[in-house]
Chain A
Amino acid sequence: MVDAARHPKVEVLAYSEVERVDGYIGNFRVDVTKKPRYVLEDRCNGCGECAQACPIEVPNGFELDIAPRKAIDVPHGQAVPLIYAIDMDNCIHCYKCVSACGKLDAIDFSQEPETLDLDVGSIVVATGFESFDPTVIPEYGYGVYPNVITAMELERLANSAGPTVGRLVRPSDGAAPKSVAMIQCVGSRDARYNEYCSGFCCMYTIKNALLLKQMNHDMDITIFYMDIRTPAKGYEEFYNRAREMGIRFVQGRPSQITEDPVTHNLYIEAEDQALGEVIELEAEVVSLSSAAIPRLDSEALASTLTLSRSPGGFYMEYHPKLRPVDSPTDGVFLAGAVQGPKDIPASVAQGSAAASRAARVLLSDSWEIEPIVARVWADRCVSAQGRKCGVCANACPYGAITVVQGQPAQITQAKCHGCGGCVAECPHDAISQDHFTDAQIVAQLQELLKDKPEEKILAFMCHWCSYGGADNAGTSHFEYPSTSRGIRVMCSARMDQDFILEAFRRGAGMVLVSGCHPQDCHYISGQQVAAKRFDRIPRALERMGINPERFRVEWISAAEGEKYARVITEMDDKLATLDKETLREETAKARPEIARRLKRWATVPGMAEMLEEEEVLA
């Protein structure tokens, strides 16, 4: 960090907030508010005389409030930059710091927040994680029993630079404990709080245990765990060393901790699974390895930067295997625990990767994007005619569309990822997507339904999930009936209601629309846009006299080949029970009404010849 701060091309803006991000890859504009330190950065040399003079003591957040700090302070000894700041919420304006600073004259009570407007080419998000607060788990007594602490508190107490200069003490009486129990998976791997594995707790717990054991070989240390996870290089050896050092490992998740009200010693009850017996262990201190959780402000930053979040709340990467460092927004990269719980080596590796991904952008004069962007036909857009609309802008997960009344909707192509949600949502068919135009998709549809359509299942699949699922069914040799015909689009959001109606007008026996599971959508919220649209379709079909059972919506991931095969099989079974003559009657009855609805479509460039039958063009 010190090296980075000294680098001539690196500027560190600590104690600052990102307020707003505009623009796109290579051309971001970032508004940053620099909070006032009330200390002049170019004069402060970090000597700390001011803090010594300051009479005000407040809880020290870095030491988890175990130790005090002054109202003028640095966050911690290794802080970069090493510049003091006054905490105005607690300062009493005694100005003792001013006299202590003396000739340096670095203290300036008149500082105001400063707004910076930065032009940047790429952005790396490395805002880290927070620690789960175990107070909410009543059976572990954190916050009730003084000697139940978190692993982070144990780390500070055992740290030679910490508040007790490395002497572990019991909070209840300040005595050195002779026995310590450590409990794993507190708030993680727990359906009540966080389902995910926090990843690095096993290793830091073993590290803490070894540290304590090395300081006092007679200390009795027990680690309660469900599974010890030491998958990286050298980790298993580290674990072995802990076992050899005499640290006791009990496989069993503690059900409760109780406290002796007199001694404040703690009793941990767990089932030792190896024995199948309940063990009651007395310990003087219990350390809870609490889960890493996303920062509480991660939702706000997600909307500032157009990021999406995975089920656990951490930021989602562009692709879990192939682009694990990129965010869904081009030019924004993820490093470290923002993307998921990570230990130091993995965070450093991802940080390095993010830096080089970011540098690629800075070194390029131009940037290649996927050629599947959306385009607006200005003459069809009602906004250009002065009417109020903006449906497309609402559907866009990337904020790539700007709608100003009186002008046609504007698409920033560098921000467009080509999901096609705006194309399908536009009520006036005024947007098209390159390589996935309505005409191209309808051409496929017509060809697939040319022969005996009532015996066919027309399946719309999104590129990232359900098409992968169908592919997986094929490569895994999961058999399914040959009656299905697939059309691939980029996202379920592209699956226009008109396509479904056109399929039924052409007499399709069954129609399937399939996409990613809600939390997996490649286009942040494309699936949600689609799901909302699909919810309305069965009733619309019913009103037109089409059996809504002929329409099905399924969310199928790329790994669910078995599900794809099953869904197609079920649909085929269903189709077999439907009388073909009835299907043809339904189609004949619904055709005029569908044709009426599709009339507007016929004016879309390239569509007229697709709909040449007179009922649409009449």
Chain B
Amino acid sequence: MIKSQRLDHGFVEEILAEPGGEHLLTCWSCGTCAATCLVRRYEPAFNPRLVLRRAGLGMREAVLSSAEVWQCSACDACYPRCPKQIHISDVMKAIRNIAIREGYERPGAAARVDTESCIACGLCAAACPYEAIHIEEVASKEVASNGTGKLAAQVDANLCMGCGICNSVCLSSSISVEGISDQVVSQDIAALRRQPARGALAIVCNWCLHATTDWDVAQNPPAGVRVVNVPCSGRVTPTFLTTALMQGYDAVLVVGCKTDECHYKHGNALEQGRAEVVGGLLDLLGLEPERVQFAWIGALDRGRFPALLDKLAADANALAPVHWGDTPGYRGEVPAYPSAATAPRGEG
């Protein structure tokens, strides 16, 4: 039971005073955000409406200690639909800032860095949608060429949303998120490969499938198509695409969210560009560029996913199997995915 004596109005004032939290009390609990929110598909307990409701009542302990305030990924799908125009992710951020000040920490896995193999190139820091990564001096035996201590990427666990985009740009495979590391995803892709390994692969972002029927299709794809899920299309390293082709898939499709609907701000745009580059490389190698495709699904595109998979299966069927032996530069083996141990090491 909620007892009024335990409600803390000071907490409400604190949120209202925090940048981003100003509009907390204008919420009238219509539930539009909750119905829009995709986090709920994975975290059934998550409900932005209830977070705002509890916060507005002054339930300090319940709000600050809950996992929910950390789960909002600031995709802002709810914001344009909110009839009170409350920037909900900003309210969440305001509450998180209070939580951090009070010593609470984000639950769940954040990206981790292998500081020994990290070459401090800064690509991950530039790619991170949440500005959670910085290049800093770390404790290490190595000394940088300019005489300072070793530099390496460092992750602010309270800001990381676990999308894995950092991993997808990492040159040395030194940064990873538990459960979606390069090894795990490439093993998932390899595990789906059956002999004879013809067919097509769809790598699908977790957030672009909206209709229940789309999920049924993902579980039971049309003949010849295999589906792997990743948190964000931006997690897909170009190497996944090329190794999948070398492992025998005839075509690879990456499915992400529609422009401006990315759950992690801009992962979809990043991947769309990379897929185009990989297609161009295939062209240079004398292969059909359409072996690597990118497609998006918008929040309102019910029925688009099955059609995409059908088209992928048809495209793959129309393509002849690749004889890698004829490809210039092919050295005769399917590469194992590079791990941090085998990746090229930076010279500091």
Interface residues of A (CB under 8 A from B): 138-139, 141, 185, 189-192, 226, 251-262, 267, 269-273, 276, 278, 280
Contacts and interface: CB of A to CB of B under 8 A. Distances in A.
Given A226-B30, A270-B35, A280 B212 contact: yes
Contact of B47 (A251, A267, A270, A276): A276
Contact of B31 (A258, A260, A270): A270
A279 to B, nearest CB: 8
Contacts of B212: 280
Contacts of B30: 226, 252-253, 273
Contacts of A251: 31
Interface in B73-97: 78, 81-85
A253 B32 contact: yes
B300 A261 contact: no
Contact of A276 (B50, B84, B211, B303): B50
A255 B302 contact: no
Interface string B1-37: 0000000000000000000000000001111111110
B269 interface: no
B109 to A, nearest CB: 26
A191 B80 CA distance: 11
A286 B49 CA distance: 25
**Which of B34, B35, B49, B78: most chain A Cβ within 10 A?**
B35
28 contacts: A141-B300, A189-B83, A191-B84, A192-B85, A226-B28, A226-B30, A252-B30, A253-B30, A253-B32, A253-B35, A254-B35, A255-B35, A256-B35, A256-B299, A256-B300, A258-B210, A258-B301, A259-B302, A259-B303, A260-B302, A262-B303, A269-B36, A270-B35, A271-B35, A271-B49, A273-B29, A276-B34, A280-B212
B303 A261 contact: yes
A253 B30 CA distance: 5
Nearest to A139: B81
Contacts of A252: 30-31, 35
B345 interface: no
Nearest to B48: A271
Contacts of B265: none
A273 B31 contact: yes
B40 interface: yes
A139 B300 CA distance: 7
Given A139-B300, A260-B302, A280-B212, A253 B85 contact: no
**Which of A141, A185, A191, A256: most chain B Cβ within 10 A?**
A256
Nearest to B34: A271
Interface size class of B (residues with CB under 8 A): 20 to 34
Contacts of A138: 300
A258 B211 CA distance: 9
Given A191-B82, A256-B299, A280-B212, 8 more contacts: A185-B83, A191-B84, A252-B30, A253-B30, A255-B35, A269-B36, A270-B32, A271-B32
Contacts of B35: 252-256, 269-271, 278
A257 B84 CA distance: 19
Contacts, number: 78
B32 A255 contact: yes
Given A255-B35, A267-B211, A271-B35, A261 B302 contact: yes
Contact of B40 (A191, A192, A262, A278): A278
B229 to A, nearest CB: 20
A259 B299 CA distance: 11
A258 to B, nearest CB: 4
Contacts of B50: 276
B139 to A, nearest CB: 47
Contact of B83 (A192, A259, A270): A192
Contacts of B40: 278
Contacts of B83: 185, 189-192, 253
Nearest to B304: A261
Nearest to A252: B31
Interface string B40-55: 1000000101100000
A253 B82 CA distance: 10
B72 to A, nearest CB: 16
Nearest to B44: A277
Given A139-B300, A261-B303, A280-B212, A254 B32 contact: yes
Contacts of B28: 226
Contacts of A262: 303
Contact of B303 (A191, A192, A255, A260): A260
Contacts of B301: 258
Contacts of B32: 253-255, 270-271
Contacts of A185: 83
B296 to A, nearest CB: 15
Interface string B146-170: 0000000000000000000000000
Contacts of A189: 83
Given A191-B84, A192-B85, A226-B30, A255 B300 contact: no
B300 A258 contact: yes
A254 B82 CA distance: 11
